[in-house]
Structure formats: structure tokens, C-alpha cells
Amino acid sequence: MGRLSGKVAIITGAALGMGAAEAKLFAQEGAKVVGTDIKDVELQEVIREINENGGEAIGFKHNVASEEEWQQIVQETVNRFGKVDILVNNAGISSTKTIANIEMSEWNRVMDINLSGCVLGMKYVFPEMQKAGAGSVINISSIGGIVGMAGSSPYTAAKGALRALSKSAAVEYAKQNIRVNSVHPGIIVTPMTEPSMKDAMPYYKTFTQLPYFGKPEDVAYGVLFLASDESRFMTGSELVIDGGWTAL
């Protein structure tokens, strides 16, 4: 208990899956949590559970692709809790299109949410972290940002760009004691991945070396480590949580 005591964390995509697990775990470890998601009903249930269990959290409906909404979220966080110590850019969407059959409208939507949303989050959180004298940003990428994955070109392109962006941001802000790291989950059973898992199960089993798939909590504990002062000498790093996929 208390690994994040006194810290304030913004977590996007906090309504379901990994984001919900991160929000609950952060609150258990003493953080004041600001959860955001486009799915407001599910988000408010997560916020209610955290508060009923003795944590402190607030939640906002939030389209991460909106610059105006990002400004509002950061301002609301500072108004309520006085600062921002941690940002987890967790919100994202999937895409199963190839380069040949992708419509540019879908390509742009994937990039807006999976990449530009993270850029906007950092843009408006960094000044508050500078005021606080330190900060930790965790960008949730994917093993698709490290290895090729057939049939997911828009998704892997965005996640690969997020990996590189995290390194550039880490270098830009290191002297100001702001750390930026990326996390690269493998097959994690979440509401986003479950619909596609049934047909692709043999493929996933071939590449996942452990005899089971990941759970949201498996990623949340890695994110907790990067958010905490235990990882104070880590920035620009990639934390891979993939059951051995990228070991091949």
C-alpha cells in the first residue's frame, strides 16, 4: 500500500479493461485518480467502486482526440487536486484493416485517438508537471509497435509512432525530472480484444509463449511501477508485457 501516496494521476480509457484496472490499482496505492473515457456510464461505475472502497477518484467523459477537452480535463484536475504527477495515456481503439483496404477516414480516426490523443495529453500535462518539479508519463503502446502484425496496419503504425514519440519526449523533458516510458502489452483479454480473439486464437497461441493470455491486472502492475518513484531512473524505456511474444 502507498506506492503512489500523495500523487495525482490522470488515466484515459479508464472505463474498461487495462484502464479500469490501472485506475483501481492506483487508488489502492494512494493516488488521487482522474479517470476519463468516452464511455461515461462504465467509467462512473469504476469511479464509484474506487470511492466506495476508500479511494479518491473523479471521472470525466472525454474524447482524447479533442484538444479543447484535454485542456478542460487538465484544468479540472488542477482545480480539484492542485497538481498532476502522473499521466497514463491508455485510451485507444483497434483496427483490422490492411494498407490496401483501409479507408482514410478510419486511418485518421485511429491516428487521432491512438497517437494524437497522447500528444495532446502530454502537451497540456507537461506544464503542470514542470510546476510540480517532476512527473511520470506512461504511454500504452503495444507489441504491435515493436513487431509487425498482419492485418493491423493503422493500429501498428500508431503504436510504433507512439513508441518513438515516447523516446523523443523522454529526451526533451528529462532535465526537468519528467519521465516518459512506453508499455507494450501482448495479448491481454479485455473488452476491446475479446471480439477478435475467437477467430485468431490459434495465431495468438502460436506466438504467446506462456500457456495463458494476459489479464488487465498484469499490465496495471507494470504501469504502477513506472508511475512510482521505484522507477525513478527509467525514462525512454519500453516495458514489454507480452507472455514471450517478442522473445521469438
Please name the amino acid found at residue 198. Answer: K
State the catalytic residue, choosing from 155, 173, 204, 221. Answer: 155
> Over the Cα atoms of the chain, what is R_g?
17
**Full strand arrangement of the beta sheet holding 178-185:** 56-61, 32-37, 8-12, 86-89, 135-140, 178-185, 238-241
* Euclidean distance between CA atoms 122 and 136, whole angstroms: 10
* Euclidean distance between CA atoms 106 and 230, whole angstroms: 39
The C-alpha angle with vertex 4 and arms to 144 and 128, in degrees rounded to 5, equals: 80
Q: Which one, of 125, 105, 210, 115, lies nearest residue 155 by Cα?
A: 115
67: which residues sit within 8 A by CB, 6+ positions away? Answer: 120
Is 155 marked active-site? yes
Q: Point out the residues that are catalytic.
A: 155
